[in-house]
Structure 1
């Protein structure tokens, strides 16, 4: 483990990097929930056109590219070099421009504080040793009054049964060992981290993914996957 990085997590995603844009692979759920995530961000920032956006933990670029296609100037950062290479190649193929960089959120926060109108960090907090450090960095990177959006997994029996046992071992939607239940965060815990970093929680929404229909909807049920939107104090 180096800095705020779990080397085993990086290796795990590097092994799967070539599958990022295969909608029938382990990343199928991410492709399914992406329209809902994108719509949530767009609604809360009043549209992405012309916005300067940072996607922290961008992986293969699923969300980053969709935000760029919606008119934003997007920077995507990740420490998994193979995933970034896939993201860059897909960007060339699609013609949608995203600036991908292999840099940590902490390092970029020191380099370019208060540089972005919107910062997103999706499905990443449960994969790092110190989620608080990521929240702090996101708060530093967004401009005063700007929007920060996180998504992660709640920590309770239902989320363990659905996100770990169901998704990884019963349905095989995700590879076994994808998630460490101990790293899941309750909305109250994430809201407290955000508040400690001068981020005001605006809205919390649950994401429900139906593996049979492949549809994803947002609701007030935050028991498993959830989104939390915050505003940086001016």
Structure 2
């Protein structure tokens, strides 16, 4: 993810032990204290965050409806809030949820120390799971699931669950990693063992998801893929590309 390698760290641990293995939660809890350090273990997320957010904002529903009311956005697996804060600045009413209490604590601390501008939408963090939101019959106008789905135990069930949290006409943005030999070489071996951009054990290449698989999971969840793009690093920062061999991002609509 960061620096010059094309890979990703996921924004958090996501959900509960039902959806994500306990070792995933523990792994990202250990990293929470340095989540906002742009040169720390989350530096790949910092590097790619502008591209992820700008692409998402082009595809999500507008932050306000025709009457000027703020639309709601769920940032699932929010970690310490890199994306959550950006979506709030854009004007959404944001709920950031993560299963790792340490990450949520770090997000709340950063928000207190660096308050959002008055023009921003509200941002509330919650330690919990998507399963809890489903049980509460929660619904959102938009959902972001950035670098999350490759860490869950059952990606098809995960997407169905998120689809049930999305209002009709709502849009979900999912970014993840493709399961190719290039991603194995660059995002796993290169990033974790050679360049040491990520802690060893961050990714399980076998759990990476191809765009075709994501499309199948989306269709089964009642969602329609409206756009997909690759994300690649360069000297001037991360950029959108037709090359989806390693990192990619997709927009899904609930009709």
Note whether the superposition's TM-score is higher than 0.5: yes
Structure 1 residue 137: Cα displacement: 1.5
Residue in structure 2 matched with residue 12 of structure 1 by the alignment = 27
TM-score (normalizing by structure 2): 0.87
Residue in structure 1 matched with residue 90 of structure 2 by the alignment = 70
Residue in structure 2 matched with residue 21 of structure 1 by the alignment = 36
- C-alpha separation in 1, matches of 2:93 and 2:113: 18
Residue in structure 2 matched with residue 122 of structure 1 by the alignment = 146
Q: How does 1:146-161 map to 2 (within 5 A)?
A: 146-161=170-185
* Aligned residues between the structures: 230
Residue in structure 2 matched with residue 42 of structure 1 by the alignment = 57
| Alignment of 1:228 onto 2:250 | yes
Structure 1 residue 124: Cα displacement: 0.8
Residue in structure 2 matched with residue 142 of structure 1 by the alignment = 166
Instruction: Determine if contact 1:36/1:218 at 8 Å carries over to the other structure.
Output: yes
- C-alpha separation in 1, matches of 2:92 and 2:101: 23
Q: Secondary structure at the match of 1:155?
A: coil
Residue in structure 1 matched with residue 219 of structure 2 by the alignment = 195
Structure 1 residue 46: Cα displacement: 5.0
- C-alpha separation in 2, matches of 1:17 and 1:30: 13
- C-alpha separation in 2, matches of 1:183 and 1:28: 22
TM-score (normalizing by structure 1): 0.94
- C-alpha separation in 1, matches of 2:253 and 2:152: 23
Instruction: Determine if contact 2:72/2:142 at 8 Å carries over to the other structure.
Output: yes
- C-alpha separation in 1, matches of 2:228 and 2:153: 23
Q: Could you tell me which of 66, 72, 94 is aligned with 2:114?
A: 94
For residues 67-107 of structure 1, the C-alpha deviation after alignment (integer angstroms, 9 at most, x for no partner) is 10111110001101100000011111121342111121122
Give the ranges of 4+ consecutive aligned residues of structure 1 lying more than 4 Å apart after TM superposition.
none
Q: Secondary structure at the match of 1:82?
A: helix
Q: Using CA pairs under 8 Å that are at least 6 residues apart, name the structure with larger relative contact order, 1 or 2.
A: 2
For residues 168-214 of structure 1, the C-alpha deviation after alignment (integer angstroms, 9 at most, x for no partner) is 1111111111100111000100110010000000001111124xx47
Structure number having the greater helix percentage: 1
Residue in structure 1 matched with residue 7 of structure 2 by the alignment = none
Q: Secondary structure at the match of 1:95?
A: coil
Residue in structure 1 matched with residue 241 of structure 2 by the alignment = 219
Residue in structure 1 matched with residue 100 of structure 2 by the alignment = 80
Q: How does 1:166-185 map to 2 (within 5 A)?
A: 166-185=190-209
- C-alpha separation in 2, matches of 1:217 and 1:2: 34
Residue in structure 1 matched with residue 136 of structure 2 by the alignment = 111
Q: Secondary structure at the match of 1:68?
A: helix
- C-alpha separation in 1, matches of 2:105 and 2:61: 31
Residue in structure 1 matched with residue 6 of structure 2 by the alignment = none
Q: Gaps spanning 5+ residues in structure 1: where?
A: none
